[in-house]
Structure 1
């Protein structure tokens, strides 16, 4: 007695390539149209976005500091300059940072400049410009009344020009007694006033090379894990269990060490010089440590209770390895998926960075020095005893234009579309991997089990020719089921802030809904996983394949629960092992980078990417295991009398009769 009725057994156990047709074409068209939208948004972000502008800052003329090629702003003077040798931003008025002029400088002032003569001497001996571009410093010589040129709007900075140090590529006055606490607070309020998302994205942009390198490192660790799965199936359960135990305990200990290290450092820092990002670092790592401790404790408890099932797990992986040995090309699938995912992640990250910095450049006219109607006496002067002077040279610098960027809110809002695109496309890429593996294993199982045909190319051809629509639909369903859960999580966060207003009941209800949607999402993901196998076997549409897979799994619920709970748990530990090792290495690297202000963000992103990479690699075994079992059910080779203590499987329906090893 088989898993399915006689019609399914007779008609669909053998692949019929002549009758195979394209499946779920409508959903493939929807996916293509969605990607057209992503490309259009990317084009706008490339035109209006500039991630370097966040990192380095920009002057009043639209030039991004430290950049060789700046785009000219129409006919605006001093725009489009080469600032590659001017990496730091200097503010002309330290008391009013947003209203004063700002320019890019070669280095921050290394000493306090109290008079224009000091500015002249500093430029003469250090060749460092602190006045406006192309300014003639001869006007600052003694007996020229150059004090009138030191103003918030230039052409020289207001006096005194304090000794400064670069903080996030901005020249910030050093804390000494001449600098008032209010001035320092203005700078740190400006830095802390940046949009939090822009600060995080700035750190991500600064560490994209490290993130890419750590993604490669995660691939290496994942391939090492899967190689051990293939070569040392009998001891792999011990290896992964103890490997995760060590990595989990070590990672949790390192997180707590990092938290206390940051806390001790902040305790020794003056209150008025604290950046909010440093405080956020402390809070983030505090919660990271708590979450890691709880998760490690839970999983270690499960490991302890499952240690008696090690022999069963070893035999289970041996059955999977038997298929892998006949299909060594399957090892290339995680690598291909990794390459595609990495390219997509880098593209997605760059577009989101550009979206976060998208703004329209505008101009406004200001006066560097204001004079009266006769053009000889200043209306405003730095001292009450301003002298009458010849201001003929001032006419050239009296009026000029500066750049002001206006936020393009409608473009920034498009990052939500890219958030959906991240989920859908990632699921689509991984679903393609599952379909290729399922098709190769099914083709090997049913028709050419003992031949050396290229099953991988056969399966990939069938995917590209017939089943991309089914993959698009399956990945879209996962994305749709994620959206309500994310919305409910957001609402729960909002209600949690109002517990004192009597929202405990609503908060509890939302938690239950979030849990239900999470379980539903996991079920749909598992059903999709098996539906791809049915599609690879008989070429049916996604909905029919999902229904068939559900019938097969429900008729053998006990056996499927045993196989998948134990096998998937071991694979999950392998993913956690890769994520923990990569996260520890990433944290150690980012912690030593002085340019980062919120290195908790890139550390978290590295862990997410590492888990994605490990998921792609280790899902290979999971897909092969489920595919072989489902193929046996489809062909009627999985008897109803499988016992929990034996789990024996016979393979009477293959082209050549061979009794496989028992899965104990």
Structure 2
């Protein structure tokens, strides 16, 4: 009876699960099974999705060429008049449009007039009129366009805006050294936070959790006091809303801390192990730099191509004597397909980062002698490029499809409440798929199996360790998010203390420093988060494969103590 109860309360799958997994992988029982699998025994996974991705790129290329032929970036920069003539240029005649092909070299500004069919006087819909030498009175110049002014003060307001932007630019230029110093300080704070996690992880975790709970309770009390003072005032509804919101948040966080108290111990131990890996393989922290560069290139390509494609079209009469470059079906398809491919590539780059980091971390975890490891990051990167690109493409395609479906449904729904419902439902599904995909990448990096098999294996491991999984993905993510916020806030506070009072727009330099610090902290903690998730699944696999006696654990003494404590607690219950 006791054995039966013990079996039902185990937190890890039975060893037969791994044996079945090995059998499906084509590995005989007597073979030595290494984790992570060595490159020599790996096979190319999900290659058909690599082919699908290549075919999509091949399909996109001719449509891109056609769209670029039909586009002209000067239409976006300088604008064109009601006959399709680009302002500031000598134009060629287009088809049978008799008024096209005029020389507008000395008329660089496009004058816009209010749409006669506008619904109201405040409606900001304009139609193209003609190219002019200068805007003149009654118009305001902005981006080579002449907009009709609402009052005589508009030109002065426009000049004031230009002067303000120029002053901000000069102040940013003066603060260049200050911005660099603040960014370096943000880097120091980020590394310092990692050192705090290394030496005082338990203290840091509990300080963040309890401090956040006390802060939320304090905010709830403040808003309840404000609500009682302004029971009938204009801000009563807002005060009551925030008071209820922070009260509910405080109750939820309290319940989570009480229910997950024992699991937080495992989170602390996993944090310690992740920090050991980061300091044991320090080159791993530079991997997000490659991700950042690749993501930046994709973003630049996406924005540039989208701007160029927005100018593409065939010159057609829209109403009366006004001609516009209207995109046809081929151009619209190109724009949509371009967005899909870029979103797919974005998710693919993120998936590659998860795969490389998890492969290196699992190598570190399952190494008896940590000092004998040779280039685990390079080996993991080689495995990705040589064997598992198809699996990452498959996983990123799933996330891309659900994101596109969510955007399309949201665009087709006009009701605001229905849009919120779509965002909540499909957003939750998208986040869940990202979570499963990340864990599937980790299992693929470990065992070298295809995406679907690894995902199924990951689901079984996570389900068997459901409470620990929930704790890790709620409390753990909350601690890491608060750590990044503290780094940014600390940088802003120090930046305010060190700001030069003679510079009027010093806030612009502080804002730039805060944004760069947030990006740096996110890059470092992305490695930390992936390392924690990988070590957790390695811990589950280790507990499944080995028993600590005949088959020794790979886990450290730190995690082994947690396993022994869990076993004692289970035996006491039985």
Shorter-chain TM-score bucket reads 0.5 to 0.7
Structure-2 residue corresponding to 1:153: none
1:462 to 377, 383, 397: 383
**2:319 matched to 1:360?**
no
Instruction: Indicate if the aligned counterparts of 1:28 and 1:469 stay in contact, CA closer than 8 A.
Output: yes
List gaps (5 residues or longer) in structure 1.
110-161, 178-183, 185-206, 251-289, 367-401, 498-506, 586-602, 642-650
- Cα 1:613–1:72 shift into 2, 3 Å: farther
Deviation at 1:427, TM superposition (A): 1.2
Instruction: Indicate if the aligned counterparts of 2:112 and 2:129 stay in contact, CA closer than 8 A.
Output: yes
Equivalences for residues 7-46 of structure 1 within 5 A: 7=19, 8=21, 12-14=33-35, 15-46=37-68
- Cα 1:576–1:484 shift into 2, 3 Å: farther
Structure-2 residue corresponding to 1:476: 397
* 1:636 counterpart SS class: helix
Deviation at 1:323, TM superposition (A): 1.1
| Superimposed CA distance per residue, residues 533-579 of structure 1 (whole angstroms, 9 cap, x where no aligned partner) | 21111211111111221222222222222233221222344567799
Deviation at 1:292, TM superposition (A): 11
Structure-2 residue corresponding to 1:89: 110
**2:131 matched to 1:103?**
yes
1:660 to 558, 564, 568: 558
* 2:455 counterpart SS class: helix
1:621 to 490, 513, 528: 528
Deviation at 1:474, TM superposition (A): 0.9
Structure-2 residue corresponding to 1:630: 537
- Cα 1:581–1:79 shift into 2, 3 Å: farther
2:414 to 494, 503, 528: 494
| Superimposed CA distance per residue, residues 49-94 of structure 1 (whole angstroms, 9 cap, x where no aligned partner) | 34553454224675544x6x7764579654473x6xx653246999
Deviation at 1:519, TM superposition (A): 3.6
Instruction: Indicate if the aligned counterparts of 1:532 and 1:545 stay in contact, CA closer than 8 A.
Output: yes
* 1:58 counterpart SS class: coil
* 1:660 counterpart SS class: helix
Higher helix share: 2
- Cα 1:108–1:221 shift into 2, 3 Å: farther
Equivalences for residues 276-291 of structure 1 within 5 A: none
Equivalences for residues 401-480 of structure 1 within 5 A: 404-410=323-329, 411-447=331-367, 449-480=370-401
Greater Cα shift, 526-535 or 217-226: 217-226
**2:295 matched to 1:331?**
no
- Structure (1 or 2) with the larger CA radius of gyration: 1
Alignment coverage as a number of residue pairs:
456
| Superimposed CA distance per residue, residues 33-57 of structure 1 (whole angstroms, 9 cap, x where no aligned partner) | 2233444444344333345534542
Structure 2 length-normalised TM? 0.63
Deviation at 1:421, TM superposition (A): 2.6
List gaps (5 residues or longer) in structure 2.
1-9, 23-28, 118-124, 155-168, 220-239, 496-510, 566-574
Deviation at 1:529, TM superposition (A): 1.4
Instruction: Indicate if the aligned counterparts of 2:270 and 2:535 stay in contact, CA closer than 8 A.
Output: no
Deviation at 1:168, TM superposition (A): 5.1
Please give the alpha-carbon distance, in whole angstroms, between the structure 2 residues aligned to 1:621 and 1:531: 18
2:305 to 337, 351, 354: 351
1:533 to 434, 442, 457: 442
Deviation at 1:615, TM superposition (A): 6.0
Instruction: Indicate if the aligned counterparts of 1:28 and 1:472 stay in contact, CA closer than 8 A.
Output: yes
Instruction: Indicate if the aligned counterparts of 1:218 and 1:582 stay in contact, CA closer than 8 A.
Output: yes
Deviation at 1:581, TM superposition (A): 11
| Superimposed CA distance per residue, residues 136-165 of structure 1 (whole angstroms, 9 cap, x where no aligned partner) | xxxxxxxxxxxxxxxxxxxxxxxxxx4543
Deviation at 1:429, TM superposition (A): 0.8
Structure 1 length-normalised TM? 0.55
Instruction: Indicate if the aligned counterparts of 1:28 and 1:468 stay in contact, CA closer than 8 A.
Output: yes
Instruction: Indicate if the aligned counterparts of 2:39 and 2:383 stay in contact, CA closer than 8 A.
Output: no
Deviation at 1:620, TM superposition (A): 1.8
**2:191 matched to 1:227?**
yes
1:555 to 464, 473, 476: 464
